[in-house]
Amino acid sequence: MCGIIGYTGNRSALPLLLGGLAALEYRGYDSAGVALQSDQLRIIKRRGRLAELCKALECEENLEAARCGIGHTRWATHGEPADRNAHPHGTERLALVHNGIIENYSEIGDFLKRKGYRFSSETDTEMAALLIDWFYLQSGDPKKAIFAATDMLRGSYALGVVFAAEKERIYAIRRDNPLIVAVTEAASFIASDIPALLAYTKEYYRPDDGILAVLSPGNAVFCRSDGSPVSLSTERVDFDVTAAQKGGWAHFMLKEIHEEPVALGRTVSHYLGVDGLPDFKNPLLDRNFFARFERVQILGCGTAMHAGLIGRHILENLARLPTSVEIASEFRYRDPLLSKKDLVILLSQSGETADTLAALRYAKKEGIYTLAIVNVVGSSVAREADAVLYTPAGPEIAVASTKAYSVQCALLYLLAVYFGLCRGTVTPFLAKELCRSLGKQAPESVRAILAQNDRICHCAARLQSAEHLFYIGRGVDYALCTEGSLKLKEISYIHSEAYAAGELKHGTISLIEKGTPVVAMMTEKKLAEKMISAIREVRARGAFVLLIVSAEIAEQYQIPYDERLLLPPVQEVLAPFPGVVALQLLAYHVAALKGLDVDKPRNLAKSVTVE
Residues at the contact surface with ligand M6R, assessed by CB under 6 A? 301-304, 348-350, 353, 356, 399-401, 486, 490, 607-608
CA atoms in the 13 A half-sphere facing the CB of 158: 28
Contact 277, 431 (CB under 8 A): yes
Q: Considering 45, 432, 487, 606, which one is annotated as catalytic?
A: 606
Minimum distance, C-beta of residue 399 to ligand M6R, in the bound complex (Å) = 5
Q: Tell me whether residue 177 or residue 353 sits nearer to ligand M6R (CB atom).
A: 353
How many other CB atoms sit within 10 Å of the CB of residue 385?
Answer: 24
Q: How far is CA 437 from CA 277, 410, 418, 515, 526, in A?
A: 12, 11, 15, 40, 21
C-beta of residue 394 within 8 angstroms of C-beta of residue 239: yes
Q: For ligand M6R, give the closer residue by CB, 267 or 350.
A: 350
User: Toward ligand M6R, which CB reaches closer, 162 or 382?
Assistant: 382
- Judging by DSSP bridges, how do beta strands 387-390 and 235-236 pair with one another? unpaired
> Residue 574 gets which letter from DSSP?
G
Smallest distance, ligand M6R to C-beta of residue 344, A: 15
Kindly state the smallest distance separating residue 353's Cβ from ligand M6R, in Å.
Answer: 3
Residue pair 1/608 in contact (Cβ under 8 Å)? The answer is yes
Q: What is the dihedral of CA 422, 428, 433, 438, to 10 degrees?
A: 20
Q: Over the range 155-164, which residues count as b (16 or more CB within 10 Å of their CB) and which as e?
A: bbbbbbbbbb
Of 188 and 482, CB closest to ligand M6R = 482
The answer to whether the CB of 580 falls within 8 A of the CB of 480 is: yes
Q: State which residue, 193 or 477, has the beta carbon closest to ligand M6R.
A: 193
Q: Which residue is nearest to ligand M6R (CB)?
A: 302
Shortest gap between Cβ of 176 and ligand M6R (angstroms)? Answer: 14
Angle between helices 453-463 and 576-593 (to 10 degrees): 60
Rounded least distance, CB 108 to ligand M6R, Å:
28
Catalytic residue check, 403: no
Smallest distance from ligand M6R to CB 415, Å: 17
- Least distance to ligand M6R, CB of residue 373, Å: 10
Nearer Cβ to ligand M6R (400/554): 400
- Nearest Cα to Cα of residue 442 among 254, 576, 257: 576
Decide whether 230 or 327 has the Cβ nearer to ligand M6R: 327
DSSP class per residue in 492-507: H--EEEEEEGGGGGGT
Nearer to ligand M6R, 404 or 518 (CB): 404
Rg of the chain on CA atoms, in Å = 25
- For 228, other C-beta atoms within 10 Å of its C-beta total 8
In the complex, least distance from residue 46 CB atom to ligand M6R, rounded to whole angstroms: 25
Please state, in angstroms and rounded to a whole number, the distance separating the CA atoms of residues 104 and 562.
Answer: 55
Cβ distance to ligand M6R smaller for residue 267 or 356: 356
Our CB check for ligand M6R shows the closer of 220 and 400 to be 400
Closest CB 47 distance from ligand M6R, rounded Å: 23
The secondary structure element, H or E, covering residue 362 is helix 354-365
Closest contact distance (angstroms) between CB of 551 and ligand M6R is 28
d(C-alpha 424, C-alpha 117), whole Å = 68
Q: Residue 533 CB: number of other CB atoms within 10 A?
A: 12
- Cα separation, 478 vs 484, in Å, equals 10
Question: Residue 465 contacts by C-beta under 8 Å, 6 or more apart in sequence?
Answer: none
Q: How far is the CB of 504 from ligand M6R (least distance, A)?
A: 25
- Residue 83 has phi, psi (to 5 degrees) of -55, -45
> Which of these, 295, 297, 298, lies nearest to 306 by C-alpha position?
298
The reply to whether 459 belongs to the active site is no
Distance (Å, whole) CA 471 – CA 479: 10
- d(CA 81, CA 248) in angstroms, rounded, equals 32
The stretches of 451-565 forming alpha helices (DSSP H) are 453-463, 476-492, 528-540, 551-556
Q: Which candidate in 2, 301, 422, 481 is catalytic?
A: 2
Q: What is the DSSP letter of 425?
A: S
Q: Which bin fits 276, alpha (ψ -120 to 50), beta or left (φ > 0)?
A: left
CB-neighbour burial class of residue 116 (10 A; exposed 0-12, middle 13-18, buried 19+): exposed
Taking the least distance from each CB to ligand M6R, the nearer of 180 and 549 is 180
Give the max Cα distance, the chain. Answer: 80
Where in the sequence numbering do the catalytic residues fall?
2, 606
